[in-house]
Chain A
Amino acid sequence: MNPTPDAPPLGGCTDLPLLKERGQREVFCGLTSIVWLHRRMPDAFFLVVGSRTCAHLVQSAAGVMIFAEPRFGTAILGEKDLAGLADANEELDRVVEELLARRPEIRTLFLVGSCPSEVIKLDLGNAAERLSRRYLPQVRIVNYSGSGIETTFTQGEDNALACLVPLLPRRDDDSPNLLLVGTLADQVEDQFLRLFRKLGIDQVATFPPRRAANLPAIGPGSRILLSQPFLSTTAKALRDRGAQVITAPFPLGVEGSSAWVRAAGETFGIASARLEAALAVSRQRGQTALARYRPWLEGKRIFLMPDSQLELPLARFLHEECGMVLLEVGTPYLDRQMLQPELDRLPADTRLSEGQDVERQLDRLRASEPDLVLCGLGLANPLEAQGIATKWSIELVFSPIQGFDQAGDLAELFARPLQRRSRLTL
């Protein structure tokens, strides 16, 4: 663990060659983001325009929950739509009308593009505009793509947020305000809001908001602090609206959270002494919680399969704060600019891979004899059956893991499979 906040980074693998692979990719498409976005914004509805496969994907992922009122659905394309026999736009209008009649409380409707709708070039952007004209001011209708051919898993959130950016009201006031961008658990968000208030940064808004109808205002005074690493498109869209993006590591672990808060504090001209004073208690608490799990993780070898783009910040945390050995850090997509602060903190010999050829990657994985593998659910049980401990990666997107008070929980997520193995006598 890095004891002093100002110590130089541990390594830096900025210049390391990156293993770029093409082949079978065992990842989710962006539609999956609906599974958490519908909870973040309960006044929104996500209507996928796609095939039965898309409908099946979303319900397989979320259908274990029992819904009295579904918050997502699919307009399934039929043969008539493909043959051009039915005017796709008229069909879509009819489906939206049917949906809004059943669910009059919906305030924002996302038309979500899929592989089939992209391949047949159905112009959902246009459709969203047309439908908005019809249903505004009651319902706002927007569009983004969650297709597998264009997006991987969390990139769906990136596109969903990016499509809301043009709708953010303009901030008249040019004074600096802070916008936290990226879905955080409510409780984590509250913690950070309290901390920023303690630092004297009062003007803080969050995006996405908790109600899709309450979009935060944005202007040249806005400073963007990204809480998730997969928001390249959203960051660009916000920059285009005059906001400035603060570059920082992501708030995973005590060090990541400290660096993240510090970056914001410095941008807002908070004196270093005040910053450190405000952070001291949180840091101490986070380190205490982490210390409990460090013995389980220290020296253990971990292999991270690509999934959510959280892999680099996670690897940094697991190495820097938990003492784990990184065998390979895979990511579906590497935005070097965005992740530079993370790359700077990774050990110099880290093997990075972008993209995937799953069979070859599994060959490397088995050869490297990991103690723990971070991977998706399609691989987890099969690897366990081969005697390899796994931590399923999707959980990291669904759990409160950011911030000081979650640093221990985050480490626990990785320690748990190892603890479990030591408990079971089977």
Chain B
Amino acid sequence: MELTLWTYEGPPHVGAMRIATSMDGVHYVLHAPQGDTYADLLFTMIERRGKRPPVTYTTFQARDLGGDTAALVKTSVADAVERFHPEALLVGESCTAELIQDQPGTLAQGMGIDLPIVNLELPAYSKKENWGAAETFYQLVRRLLKPQIPAPGTSRPAPPEGRRPRVNLLGPTALGFRCRDDVTEITRLLAEVGVDVHVVAPLGARPADLERLPLADANVCLYPEVARTTCDWLERQFGMPCIRTVPIGITATRDFLQELGSVLDISVEQALRPDHMASSDLWGEAKGGTGRPRSRLPWYSRSVDSTYLTGKRVFVFGDGSHALAAARISEQELGFELVGLGTYSRESAKAVRAYARSRGLAAVISDDYLAVERAITDAAPELVLGTQMERHIAKRLGIPCAVISTPIHVQDVPARYAPQMGWEGANVIFDSWVHPLMMGLEEHLIGMFREDFEFVDGHQSHLHSGGRQENGRQGSDSPDRASSDLPDDAPEADTTAPQWTAVGKAELDKVPFFVRGKVRRNTEAFARERGLRAIDDETLYEAKAHFGR
């Protein structure tokens, strides 16, 4: 048993639903108790889809358990096939159905239905949503392409002369993070270097499209969490090369283009410069200049207004791909200091660990919300880049936060064009990550004058709210937390811990709120190292000189 306040991923059958809902012509019969239809809302509300997900639930109740739940499965399969005429059928169980073991997939396969049927075995008590999506996509592709697998040793036929190279975009799904616009952006990026998109899957594909996958020259694994297994299989069975760089951020987009160029043997030199136009030509666009700047992030980040972003302490958490991309952007493209990195994707643990280690950090590989909360508290960052769950943590700790990865809620499926990938994705990222931070002038003034009646400590007047005072009001549910100025330390009582004197505490309060947590920790560590029992203003400044900033 595992205490879970928030879960980063849903159960694996929700991953399977994401595949079914992303596609056309695929129906999913899910053996599940009454109530599990809540998952429809993820698609009709969070994604605002105007169609019901192609899912038929058996919705058994307690009274059915005494009877023949297997018959219920067969009726549901028969009804679904008759009503929806799918081109392929997925059959599987939710967690409760897994306990009663009706083998719905096997039952369906024995019904003499003339359709490709995929029997999904998704262990709900050990695996999660992304695994469920990856497994479902893989099993479906495998089922449909099995007849086409070439004999071992067969070499791939060369593409016909004169045809532009073409690739499959694999991985985008319903309920993925900004998949809709990423696909558009990457399609544009590919067009610029003369590459066509053959099949996008699962988003928007039909079973017949999956059968055409091997006709592309390469696969682009946009979302490894969903498509890695399938890309590996296509590489193994059909000898299809795979482009594996995830093009989130300027550097990554460049790397992606280079990888694409070498895999397809084409020149990408022209497309590699994101700022295409010189920064002084920023207005050239309007005058019909040489073309739009591919991305504004490089110039925005170099412009003097961004100087105050230097060394901002950032904590990054999300799925493996988005967390790694965010870490790289933070350090290399925005000049932040990475003070924490983690992921809930165990499959990416190795890569995330390696990256963190190279920065002298210990990665947080966990799906335990409380462990992430502890890590953020300890790192005392000035900005959290995370998921919907980190927004809860950031609210509790009073730290600015931006969302970079699923799980998400409705506000992260926006109406506007909002990719994360490619050149425009970098523009979106610049705006949305900098937005929650305090604007430069305000940051200076709050550091200088601390007795303003309107611009109080922690206030961010460019946001509608912000700051400690606001938090205090919201925190009526937890007055004990809100009234304490700083996040609580580890619960264990430490009798040797140095104590703040009144004058020391007063001096600490003069430190701008967003670095105060770090200053407090540094000063306490400094005092402990030197065996000091009391911390006064002198200790604080000695520690400051010792650590810098």
Give chain A's interface residues, CB within 8 Å of chain B: 23-32, 42, 49, 51-53, 55-57, 59-61, 63-64, 66-79, 81-82, 86, 88, 91-92, 94-95, 98-99, 101-102, 105, 115-116, 118-120, 147-150, 152, 359, 376-382, 384-385
Contact = CB atoms under 8 A, between A and B. Distances in A.
Contact of B56 (A24, A63, A115, A379): A24
A98 B368 CA distance: 13
A56 B10 CA distance: 5
A238 to B, nearest CB: 24
B446 to A, nearest CB: 23
A81 B1 contact: yes
A102 B370 contact: yes
A86 B1 contact: yes
B36 A53 contact: yes
Nearest to A149: B62
Given A59-B6, A76-B1, 16 more contacts: A24-B37, A52-B9, A55-B4, A55-B6, A56-B7, A57-B35, A68-B477, A74-B3, A76-B2, A105-B478, A119-B96, A149-B62, A149-B96, A359-B79, A377-B40, A384-B50
A29 B35 contact: yes
A118 B4 contact: no
8 contacts: A25-B34, A53-B94, A64-B409, A74-B7, A148-B61, A149-B33, A378-B40, A380-B44
B48 interface: yes
B58 A75 contact: no
B52 A95 contact: no
Given A52-B10, A359-B79, A78 B475 contact: no
A359 B64 CA distance: 20
Contact of B11 (A52, A88, A120, A380): A52
B14 interface: yes
Contacts of A72: 5
B533 interface: no
A378 B96 CA distance: 21
B38 A115 contact: no
A105 B475 CA distance: 14
A101 B491 CA distance: 10
Nearest to A99: B3
Contact of A61 (B38, B61, B100): B38
Contact of B396 (A27, A69, A376, A380): A69
Interface string B53-65: 0001111111011
Contacts of A29: 33-36, 38
B60 to A, nearest CB: 7
A54 to B, nearest CB: 8
B388 interface: yes
B430 to A, nearest CB: 24
- 5 A-B pairs with least C-beta separation: A29-B35, A148-B35, A385-B50, A378-B40, A91-B1
A82 B125 contact: yes
Contacts of A149: 33-34, 60-62, 64-65, 96
A73 B14 CA distance: 19
A148 B99 contact: no
Given A64-B410, A377-B44, A382 B51 contact: yes
B95 A53 contact: yes
Contacts of B228: none
A27 B1 contact: no
Contact of B36 (A94, A95, A102, A148): A148
A99 B407 CA distance: 23
A297 B62 CA distance: 39
B11 A56 contact: yes
Which of A67, A68, A69 is the most central at the interface, judged by chain B CB atoms within 10 Å of its CB?
A68
B39 to A, nearest CB: 8
B125 A79 contact: yes
Contacts of B395: 66-68
Nearest to A26: B37
B474 interface: yes
A99 B14 CA distance: 27
A326 B83 CA distance: 28
Which of B42, B49, B51, B125 is the most central at the interface, judged by chain A CB atoms within 10 Å of its CB?
B125
B232 to A, nearest CB: 26
A82 B469 CA distance: 47
Given A56-B11, A385-B50, A115 B481 contact: no
B128 interface: yes
Contacts of A55: 4, 6-7
Contacts of B58: 24
Contact of A75 (B4, B99, B407, B409): B4
B4 A74 contact: yes
Contacts of B50: 381-382, 384-385
Given A27-B35, A64-B410, A91-B1, A70 B6 contact: yes
A381 B44 contact: yes
B95 A51 contact: yes
Contacts of B59: 23-25, 148
Nearest to B9: A52
Contacts of B62: 118, 147, 149-150
Which of A81, A378, A384 is the most central at the interface, judged by chain B CB atoms within 10 Å of its CB?
A378
A100 to B, nearest CB: 11
A82 B76 CA distance: 28
B496 interface: no
Contact of A51 (B57, B125, B471, B478): B125
Contact of B33 (A32, A82, A148, A385): A148
Contacts of A63: 6, 388, 407, 409
Given A24-B56, A88-B1, A148-B35, A385 B96 contact: no
A101 B34 CA distance: 34
A56 B14 contact: yes
Contacts of A118: 62
B71 interface: no
B5 A70 contact: yes
Given A64-B410, A78-B125, A377 B2 contact: no
Contact of B76 (A24, A26, A27, A31): A24
B280 interface: no
Nearest to B480: A105
A79 B33 contact: no
A49 B1 CA distance: 9
Nearest to A67: B392
Nearest to B7: A55
Contacts of B125: 51, 77-79, 82
A224 B48 CA distance: 42
Contacts of B60: 149
A31 B48 contact: no
B41 interface: yes
B35 A378 contact: no
A59 B7 contact: yes
Contacts of B76: 24
B37 A51 contact: no
A58 to B, nearest CB: 9
Contacts of A28: 35, 38
A149 B61 CA distance: 4
B44 A75 contact: no
A31 B409 contact: no
A83 B391 CA distance: 36
Interface string B361-397: 0000000001000000000000000001001100110
A381 B477 contact: no
Given A25-B34, A149-B60, A60 B392 contact: no
